Amino acid sequence: MQQRASGSADSDSIAFEISDIDPKALLKGGAKSGAKAAPQPEAKRPELRVIQTDRLPKLELNTAPDPIPELISDDAAPLDLPQIDAGDEINPEEETTEVAALDDPENNMNVEPEYVDEAAAPAAGAGQFDFYGQIFELHVQQLVKLKGSGGTRRFEVLVRDAQADNEFGTAPDRVVQDAHDPSANSDLDRIVVEQLVRWMAENRGVWETEPASFSVNVGMGTIADPKFVAYVAGVLKNQKVPAKALGFEISDKSCVEQVREVDLFIQSCEKLGCHVVLDDFTFHHNTMRWLGSPALKFLKLDAKITAVAMKEKVPQAVVVAVTQASKVLGLSCVAKRVDTPAQRDWLSAVGLDYAQGFLLDQPKSLLSLAGSQGK
């Protein structure tokens, strides 16, 4: 018996031919179970032969080039387009969203953005400065004695939004954050120092007749700037203002997270002659190393502690401990955000030296300080 297997004529080029296959020779297990199987003759293996065929269709290549389309002649008839009457009015309600999007400069790059006249933007006035497009001015808030009456002539310098009606305007920290510039913090504090020292040089009678000192809050970026204190030294020298009249407030957060930078900053202030204030003081163990620094003059308690000290024992213990420790170390202890008479009386009884808050002294612009001399 002979059987031939092949594919379609259009795709096969090789055919297989199988011959002399005995189907019975492929069967196994024909004997009963337990009986000895009779020897079977060796089955003849099927012969497999490869037969070469030539059934692939031959391809014909058309080398003739495609015809080039003829250009439209000048004499060709015009296209039959619908005519629009110029007098017809267009209903604005029929404007599609696609057309509206074309008028939006943010979505359509072909529309020229609106020109902003920088001259029309508000300019910085006297005692003000522009920082990343925001106008700020310097304010000061005086520390008040808890025992006795009257101010101390020790001022904290505050940066306030010059265009806001109250203190809740744009915060400088927000501008620094939005600037996405690592040097923005240091740049802002340099401007504050330059503005303050220039005012001090122009109004010497305000702080020399009645000695006064000013402290500036410095951010983490400023503390990490190795050239900041040298810049301050140059400004003080150019304006002939003594370094002892200027100080810097370092937050407890910086003391915890920037130990090496704070250490170098305080050492530089000590050499220059500027005093240092530890702000938001909480008795963290990292701050202990600087309590003996000659540059350190004030400890400002964290307002979160003093706010609940009259009700909770642990904050009470912290306030008493810091107050007594400051007396032993020859430092002055300050309570922040004292806003009620009862709070002031309790802090005074504990033995705190100074306090600051809206109840005691409202912040005022630096320029107005010259007009309030002697009041």
Q: Is the pLDDT of residue 68 over 70?
A: no
- What tokens does 12 get? 């096969």
The arithmetic mean of pLDDT across residues 87-113, rounded, is 50
Q: Which residues contact 229 (CB under 8 A, 6 or more apart)?
A: 265, 268, 269, 272, 274
- What tokens does 354 get? 């100074």
CA–CA dist 214, 196 (Å, integer): 9
Q: Is the pLDDT of residue 273 over 50?
A: yes
Instruction: Write down the pLDDT at residue 39.
Output: 58
Q: CATH second-level architecture of 147-371?
A: Alpha-Beta Barrel (3.20)
The arithmetic mean of pLDDT across residues 130-147, rounded, is 92
Choice between 10 and 132, residue whose per-residue pLDDT is larger: 132
C-alpha neighbours within 13 Å on the C-beta side of residue 22: 9
Burial class of residue 254, CB neighbours in 10 A (0-12, 13-18, 19+): buried
Lowest model confidence (mean pLDDT) among 35-44, 132-141, 223-232: 35-44
**DSSP-assigned letter for residue 308:** H
Angle at 232 between CA 331 and CA 203, to 5 degrees: 85
Instruction: Write down the pLDDT at residue 65.
Output: 56
The arithmetic mean of pLDDT across residues 118-138, rounded, is 81
The arithmetic mean of pLDDT across residues 239-252, rounded, is 97
Q: Is the pLDDT of residue 204 over 50?
A: yes
Q: Other CB atoms closer than 10 Å to residue 137's CB: what's the count?
A: 20
Structural domain boundaries in the chain:
147-371
Average per-residue pLDDT in the chain?
79
The arithmetic mean of pLDDT across residues 9-17, rounded, is 47
Q: Which residues contact 168 (CB under 8 A, 6 or more apart)?
A: none
Instruction: Write down the pLDDT at residue 12.
Output: 46
Instruction: Write down the pLDDT at residue 33.
Output: 46
Strand 14-19, strand 134-145: pairing: unpaired
Q: What are the pLDDT digits (tens) for 327-365?
A: 999 999 999 999 899 999 999 999 999 999 888 888 999
Percent share of the chain, pLDDT over 70? 65
The arithmetic mean of pLDDT across residues 23-47, rounded, is 53
Instruction: Write down the pLDDT at residue 196.
Output: 97
Instruction: Write down the pLDDT at residue 120.
Output: 55
185 pLDDT band, cuts 50/70/90, is: very high
Instruction: Write down the pLDDT at residue 151.
Output: 76
